A and B are shown apart, each in its own frame.
Chain A
């Protein structure tokens, strides 16, 4: 852009400076050309978009027609100004010049705002229009090719690199789809079989699809009554009413009639067949049959057999045609039959009598046998009774003897126990008697002894009392010695504290004091109250404290004028101005007030008087920088005061002890 601007400014300079021309331009013509265009511009306005703008307007779609059209000093656009006077044909530019001018009137010139006031401000577009179009086309082509290449490269690289894949799919339009397509292809190439089986198999086979019609299946329908009459018994019909005539009967009755006819026919035939044998009866029977019911002795079985036999014969004779011939014989046979029956009766009676006699004989035999049996049983029972009685007697004797033996044994045992008890009682009595005897002897001996040895006891008690007395006196002596030691140790400590000019440690003295005091509570508490740094490093004397106070006082005085939150300037001012201040003197009494000067003066007086405690209190009241500066001195004073207090406490304790001794 800078370059373009420079080029444009150069072009503008060219336009202004008439002397500087391109070698193929004529100076006078160009000037008139510029002016002429500036004058004629309103007239041209309507013409401009038509002819040359059609060529330039295709460039980048930007409406640049006026600016492009203003490049009137371009010699190639001769048709821009029609009212321009005819001019000689310009010499064509050399190819090198065309190339050098090419960048300046490029498509970007239209985007720039007009810079100068003059109308001849635009850069010359020296490139010919067809060439420009071709260049644009080639530029577009290269752009497309490049972008396609870049897209393809991006797709490929996103297949390779995961990070680039994320970037590409997220930011490049349609990048995700493209990459996904290639990935899908890769996947199919790698797993073809599974792909076919899994997804596309049922579709590619093209088998007949089963389509289910709309009307298929179960659909509701109003039930028809005439459809299946009689199937449903719950329906209303003739079977529910008893009055209604059965319409289905005729068919059934016809069926039933046929077997009736046949049944009726068959018995008729039978009757005919039955009746036929009775027809041939020309001959009368020779004799009537013997009535087996009314015959005598009809109950007898042999008689019945006989009658049957005779009847058979009669029937046989009757059947034969010569029946009348045998009528006599049959009658004799009948009489014989009666005789036989009578004989049978006689025989039966005889056998009955015989049986009665036999039964009587049997009764007699049975009676005798029973009597014999009873007699034998009685004798056996008698024998058994006598045997049992003997056994009972024997058993009773045996039991009585055993019981007597047991009784005698128990009596013996009881006797033995009694004897032993008696012996024990006797032994006890003997022992008690012996004890009593021993006691009496001992008592008598003791009586004798106490009478003589009582004086010895008195002597020993006297000796004990004497020992107690001596020990008490020993204690008194010890305590006095102890108090004396305590006093001595205390004096040593005091001397150590006072004698030295510079601080010296006094640990040894304190140790001695503690040992001498035998762990006295007061003394150990007082020693514990001393700061360890004090007895390790020592305590400064009063003179050194005063000396140090003088040094501290000068420093404090320097910082006496400082405000609360002082910086460098106030510090410097305070250091300078504090030298100009008058010091408060304490010649005529102590000065009053809270200011630093007054405090310092009071402290000095108190120190000179020896009141270290009050001096430390005064200095402790300082605040701010003064307090900070005097802090170390105050702590030192406090340490000294602690030591003094502890020593005082120990001294009073020692005095108290020495008082308690007497």
Chain B
């Protein structure tokens, strides 16, 4: 029994799970992640656009915008999928045992 084990060692702290957030903070965490990815991806895309515009396109501005759009689009897509996946419980690692 669990209570007998704990009676021998009552001072032991219960195991905490830091990786699992509180349920009400779930959406906030997702939003944080989304914003950071948006920033990073769009910055990356824009920088690639800058490089291309300098190297190939005679310093025109549209490659920069295109890169930015690519980055932002990727971030958006990732964010969207993360939101959509969140409600349904993840099935990663689950296996079906056949008789």
Contact = CB atoms under 8 A, between A and B. Distances in A.
Contacts of A556: 24
A527 B25 CA distance: 32
Contact of B84 (A536, A567, A629, A630): A567
Nearest to A538: B14
Interface in A566-581: 566-569, 571
B3 A514 contact: yes
A556 B7 CA distance: 39
Contact of A511 (B7, B14, B80): B7
B24 A511 contact: no
Contacts of B24: 551-552, 555-556, 629-630, 632-633
A511 B87 contact: no
Interface in A549-570: 551-552, 555-556, 558-559, 565-569
Interface string A503-516: 00101101100100
Given A566-B83, A567-B83, A625 B27 contact: yes
Contacts of A567: 80, 83-84
A567 B27 CA distance: 12
A566 B24 CA distance: 17
Given A567-B83, A568-B80, A624-B87, A507 B6 contact: yes
B84 A533 contact: no
B56 interface: no
A571 B83 contact: yes
A625 B87 contact: yes
B23 A527 contact: no
A533 B80 contact: no
Contacts of B52: none
A112 interface: no
Contacts of B22: 632
B96 interface: no
A551 to B, nearest CB: 6
Contact of A568 (B2, B28, B79): B79
Given A507-B7, A536-B6, A567-B84, A631 B79 contact: no
A567 B28 CA distance: 14
A352 B23 CA distance: 177
Contacts of A532: 2-3, 6
Contacts of A507: 3, 6-7, 10
B26 A629 contact: yes
Contact of A535 (B1, B3, B23): B3
A464 to B, nearest CB: 41
Interface string A338-360: 00000000000000000000000
A632 B20 CA distance: 11
B40 interface: no
Interface string A493-531: 000000000000101101100100000000000011000
A633 B84 contact: no
B70 interface: no
Contacts of A535: 3, 6
A559 B87 contact: no
Interface string B17-43: 000001111111001001000000000
Contacts, number: 69
Contacts of B3: 507, 510-511, 514, 527-528, 532, 535
Given A568-B34, A568-B83, A628-B23, 17 more contacts: A505-B10, A507-B6, A514-B3, A533-B14, A551-B24, A555-B25, A566-B83, A566-B84, A567-B84, A568-B76, A568-B79, A571-B27, A628-B86, A629-B24, A630-B23, A632-B22, A632-B23
A255 B25 CA distance: 154
Contacts of B76: 568
- What 5 pairs between A and B have smallest CB-CB spacing? A632-B23, A567-B80, A511-B7, A536-B14, A555-B24
B33 to A, nearest CB: 11
5 contacts: A508-B10, A535-B6, A555-B24, A568-B34, A631-B23
B36 to A, nearest CB: 14
A86 B25 CA distance: 104
Nearest to A548: B24
> Looking at A533, A537, A629, which has the most chain B CB atoms within 10 Å of its CB?
A629
Contacts of A555: 24-25, 27-28
Contacts of A527: 3
B5 to A, nearest CB: 9
Contacts of B84: 565-567
Interface string B84-95: 101100000000
A536 B5 CA distance: 11
A568 B75 CA distance: 10
B87 A628 contact: yes
A568 B81 CA distance: 8
B29 to A, nearest CB: 11
A559 B14 CA distance: 32
Interface string B40-81: 000000000000000000000000000000000000100110
B23 A629 contact: yes
B84 to A, nearest CB: 6
A537 B14 contact: yes
A558 B6 CA distance: 41
A510 B7 CA distance: 9
A528 B87 contact: no
B8 to A, nearest CB: 9
A508 B8 CA distance: 10
Nearest to B38: A568
Contacts of A565: 84, 87
A514 B5 CA distance: 13
A52 to B, nearest CB: 54
Interface in A618-642: 624-625, 628-633
Nearest to A524: B1
Nearest to B10: A507
Contacts of A533: 14
Nearest to A515: B7
